[in-house]
A and B are shown apart, each in its own frame.
Chain A
Amino acid sequence: DAGVIQSPRHEVTEMGQEVTLRCKPISGHDYLFWYRQTMMRGLELLIYFNNNVPIDDSGMPEDRFSAKMPNASFSTLKIQPSEPRDSAVYFCASRGVSWEETQYFGPGTRLLVL
């Protein structure tokens, strides 16, 4: 299996632009998680899905952030409009059906908003 795939790996954009991050989970995994990593706040869970349905989005910082999972093999995290404080590494992770299973992380998208 190729593991969790994320694109792009790096994104540089200007403040006010829309940013879309993409994730393909491991095939057969039922859960998908979006995390954000910053120096100040460490690793934070933004939102997670179970069977394509958002379960907990309490970590989404503002209405500027939105996430979708239209099917079992694809999810997006969108920031519109982007701001410099959104600069971070965004990780996607996926996991099987049981809560005891390991979460596998993708390589991350390093976002810089100028």
Chain B
Amino acid sequence: AQSVSQHNHHVILSEAASLELGCNYSYGGTVNLFWYVQYPGQHLQLLLKYFSGDPLVKGIKGFEAEFIKSKFSFNLRKPSVQWSDTAEYFCAVSDYNQGGKLIFGQGTELSVKP
């Protein structure tokens, strides 16, 4: 079965520090990859997604992610975090053969200290 693994459960950074959140998935077929963000008390919002083409994907609020097929990875990055980036971040994969339903990782809680 497909699975998504996020290695960091809780990350604490100071403002202006660089961020990289790891995401690995286990599936060899055609997949789409997503990063969603959930701000405290709010619903999930899409940060960015990869379908095909350029493996470096740029999203909202200065986030980007790189798809490395050989490593089954889709790590999220941001050069300089802000206090307002404090949130939970979810990596997800959708599988064509399963109607495109999303399988989520466990999430990474990011706390940015002002």
Contacts and interface: CB of A to CB of B under 8 A. Distances in A.
Contacts of A105: 36, 43-45
Given A31-B99, A56-B98, A95-B100, A43 B107 contact: yes
Given A91-B43, A100-B51, A107-B43, A42 B107 contact: yes
Contact of A102 (B42, B49, B106, B107): B49
Interface size class of B (residues with CB under 8 A): 20 to 34
A105 to B, nearest CB: 4
B56 to A, nearest CB: 18
Nearest to A103: B102
Interface residues of A, number: 24
B67 interface: no
**A contacts with B: majority SS:** strand
A43 B51 CA distance: 22
B105 A42 contact: yes
Interface in B1-57: 32, 34, 36, 42-46, 49, 51
A113 interface: no
Nearest to A47: B101
A43 B101 contact: no
Contacts of A102: 34, 46, 49
Given A99-B94, A99-B96, 4 more contacts: A42-B106, A56-B99, A91-B44, A107-B42
Interface of A: 31, 33, 42-45, 48, 50, 55-56, 91, 93, 95, 98-108
